[in-house]
Structure 1
Amino acid sequence: MEPLLTTTDRRRVVVESHLGGGEHRTLADDVLDGLTRPFKELPPKHFYDAHGAALFDRICEQPEYYPTRAERAILATRSDQIVAATGAAELVELGSGTAAKTRLLLAAMHRAGTLERYVPIDVTESMVRASADELIEEFDGLRVHGIVGDFERHLDRVPLPVPGRPRIVAFLGGTIGNFPPGSRRRFLRSLERLLGEDGYLLLGTDLVKDVAVLEAAYDDAAGVTAAFNRNVLTVVNRELDANFVPESFDHVAFFDRDREWIEMRLRAQRPQRVHVGALDLRLTFAAGEELRTEISAKFTRERIAGDLAAAGMVLRDQVVDPDGLFALNLAQRRG
């Protein structure tokens, strides 16, 4: 039987939900905008319904997919050093999920005697509540202020930092690479309010490397990433009354050497007509026509330092895993 939380424990957890009917509207807007362009595309955030999230967990277990293992290896060996350098009393995490890797940072803060509060932000309320209940059992005195929302839309709901209590704002997993360069820099600038005067940004970035290694990570032999990619069409079918046939699209993943990013696409196997009922939108796909579903930028130290500088931040340190695959970057506001 699950342990029951006492009244005292419950006072240590606050969860605010800021999601409503607008999420359906966001998908509709993205479909109307992205699928009526000359080159069709959809943003990758729509991958992650319950089935998509489960598929992504399976992707992380595939031998070809190194980012999760590499980032966790860095946190396992360097969390104490990161906490010592920042003196952080609280941790804000964008896209927190199950907080699996974050526990390593929280444990280091607990060992240092500085841990006060964890602020997870995620779109899945059940996940935020479950991880909050687990963490307050694991770490004595920890308070959790959960935000159920989209980290692109609800950053203004995050509590402001307390002067004299530095915080780490963690954006892990290489998710920053899903933003095109201009949007990436705008998003980084939006984090300034969260950092306060003495806070730090901890940013996970995948690194430029051998093309074969990169492309295999997004096209595993078991076909899990292919199923994950097609699932976005299932989401549109369910939420917007569309009639895509996901199996009639091939999964495509390749490294764009000029832009230094991975692109994932869906390629129509034959000419197709699709109706999106909720929008009364009729679409046509020629045989071989492609729909872009994700970009995932890969970084050099110079690129991430430039992006941070454009957002008013300074790169203080970069830690790379032993195989040189992935980096954690520690940054502060300039000045």
Structure 2
Amino acid sequence: MGDSAISRIDSTLAGDDFGWSVTLVGEDQSDKLATLAQHLDDGHSTTGDGKRVPSGYSYWGIGPTIAWFNASNDPTYMVIKVGTEMFRRQWRTLSPLVTDECVHLVSLGVGTGAKDGMFLEAMRRAHPQMLYVPVDMSAEMLRTGSRRAVRDAHFPLDRSLGLQIDLSLDGNLEELQLVLDRLVGDEPILFSLVGNTVANFDDDLSFLSGLARVLRPQDRMLVEFATTEDLTSSAVRAAEAEYRQTRGFVEFVASAVRYNTDLRIDLDQIRFAGAVRDESILLKVFWQNASGEELRMLIPGSRPIHLPPDDTIRLYTTRKYTTERIDRLVTEAGLRTTHVQRERFRHTQRPSPFGLELRLVAHDESAPTTLPAFDVWK
């Protein structure tokens, strides 16, 4: 690269204990704010189906990042607490398979960095030359989560490069392919998509299909799903209660609107509405204007948004999948399953139908392509 600033980074950071992290910011953050404003002015609905915070924006900015870390460390948030231990056991079983097949780690949504730390610790023992590439829409989440992962695994800073991009956009996925091609060449990559991230998107199949087109034949992707063993009304109510009972989670889902608008959200006006949809439990979390009056909401740089009585803003979307739905989702996305680890929640006194599933998947070359294929790696 000659005598460029980039070529001097290694020597500049060598021995520096300031706490630097190296990140490439791929998007104009004012554009992201404008996009959020558009979604928050997307029609009237009393059921959480109009105005909304799109997936990814729930974690965008320093306020939501702090709120997510607080929720993740809330001892009453049993889904995270027990789920992390379940993940550790499942990863311990799958890790020998992964380290045999993959050299580098690309983390698609870094979260708190706890799971990335587990990946790095195991993979670096097998591949000391590996690279760690965390990817997230939120630059704040990216820095905070990846720093924890690097610290927990004692991973060298000069082997890590963060990428700030929104993975829901096809153009960004194409650019991600180009960057990874230049970074690692033909060496196989493990893409991690954990934390039930797929379930947070309105169109989960479209999102997973986009990511599947990034995988080359030698790559693998580790995907984590929240699961349910039944779709009864009692299971739906239990799913609602699982999230509603944790104050840290409720404060987190409100944070994107609280930190990016002037709307004062009363946590008592946040609703949890579950329903059975497409062999899964779909849970919508939304705020509702229960004041009886029209409210006005301001977003920096945008015109005022009016919220009539009973109008809603959807704050968060998630799902609990049946195994049958996961099978179909993976297949229709153009992927094939190579290994599966399943476990049911055991932290409740009453039997729970919920659990977690960790799937190692690969690109299915025999699957028909229904979406435009990227040809960067052909």
What TM-score do you get using the length of structure 2 for normalisation?
0.74
Question: 1:219 and 2:240 equivalent?
Answer: no
Q: SS at 2:50's partner residue?
A: coil
Asked whether the 8 Å contact 1:252–1:265 carries over to 2, the reply is yes
| CA distance in structure 2 between the partners assigned to 1:142 and 1:116 by the alignment | 11
Find the counterpart in structure 2 of residue 144 from structure 1: 160
Query: Measured at CA, do residues 59 and 105 of structure 1 come closer, stay the same or move farther in structure 2, by a change above 3 Å?
Result: same
Look up the equivalent residue of 2:361 and give its one-letter code.
Answer: A
- TM-fit CA distance, 1:29: 1.9
| Residues 77-136 of structure 1: CA deviation (Å, up to 9, x unaligned) | 343543322321011111113422111011111222365111101234355456359728
* 1:1-335 matches, cutoff 5 A: 7=12, 9=14, 14-20=22-28, 21-32=30-41, 34-36=42-44, 39-42=49-52, 43-48=54-59, 49-86=61-98, 87-113=101-127, 116-125=130-139, 128-129=142-143, 131=146, 135=150, 138-139=154-155, 143-153=159-169, 154-158=172-176, 159-161=179-181, 162=184, 164-180=186-202, 183-208=203-228, 210-220=235-245, 223-238=247-262, 244-247=263-266, 250-258=269-277, 260-277=281-298, 278-286=301-309, 288-321=310-343, 323=345, 325-335=355-365
- Hey, what's the Cα distance between the residues in 2 that align with 1:53 and 1:129? 10
Flag the 1:9–1:84 CA change in 2: closer, same or farther, 3 A: farther
- Whole-Å Cα distance in 2 between the matches of residues 214 and 62 of structure 1? 18
Sort the Cα spacing of 1:121 and 1:84 in 2 relative to 1 into closer, same or farther, 3 A.
same
C-alpha distance in structure 2 between counterparts of 1:285 and 1:13, whole Å: 44
Partners of 1:208 and 1:65 in 2: CA distance? 18
Q: Which moved more, 1:271-280 or 1:146-155?
A: 271-280
Displacement of 1:258 in angstroms is: 4.3
State the distance in 1 between where 2:258 and 2:323 align: 38
Quote the residue 2:5 is aligned against. Answer: none
Give the superposition deviation at 1:314. Answer: 0.9
Deviation (angstroms), 1:173 = 0.8
Task: Go from structure 1 to structure 2 and tell me whether the alpha carbon gap of 1:83 and 1:114 turns closer, same or farther (over 3 Å shift).
Answer: farther
Task: Give 5+ residue unaligned stretches, structure 1.
Answer: 239-243
The residue identity in structure 1 corresponding to 2:274 is F
Which deviations, in whole Å up to 9, do the C-alpha atoms of 1:129-148 show, x marking residues without a partner? 56359728813597212102
Structure 2 Cα separation of the partners of residues 31 and 305 of structure 1: 34
What is the alpha-carbon distance in structure 2 between the residues aligned to residue 248 and residue 283 of structure 1? 20
Aligned residue-pair number: 321
Conserved 8 A contact 1:65-1:216? no
8 Å Cα contact 1:91-1:119 kept in structure 2: yes
Contact 1:169/1:200 (<8 A) preserved: yes
Q: TM-score, normalised by structure 1?
A: 0.82
Amino acid at match of 1:225: F
Task: Note closer, same or farther for the CA distance 1:167–1:22 as it changes in structure 2 (3 Å cut).
Answer: same
Q: Residue type of the partner of 2:34?
A: R
Report the RMSD for the aligned CA atoms in angstroms: 3.2
* Cα distance in 2 between the residues matched to 1:133 and 1:69: 17
Q: Secondary structure at the match of 1:194?
A: coil
Contact 1:273/1:282 (<8 A) preserved: no
Deviation at 1:70, TM superposition (A): 4.0
Distance in 2 (alpha carbons) for counterparts of 1:171 and 1:19:
21
2:331 and 2:337 mapped to 1: Cα distance? 8
Cα deviation 1:231-250 (Å, max 9, x = unaligned): 33323425xxxxx3322861
Deviation at 1:76, TM superposition (A): 2.2
> For structure 2, which runs of at least 5 residues remain unmatched after alignment?
1-9, 230-234, 346-353, 366-378
Distance verdict in 2 for CA 1:171–1:9, change over 3 Å: farther
Q: Displacement, 1:177? A: 0.6
Q: Deviations over 1:202-247 (max 9, x none)?
A: 11111125445422321125x3333333333323425xxxxx3322
Q: SS state of the match for residue 296, structure 1?
A: strand
- The 1:124/1:263 distance shift into structure 2, 3 A limit, reads closer
Identity among equivalent positions (%) equals 19
Instruction: Give 3-state SS (helix, strand or coil) of 1:320's partner.
Output: strand
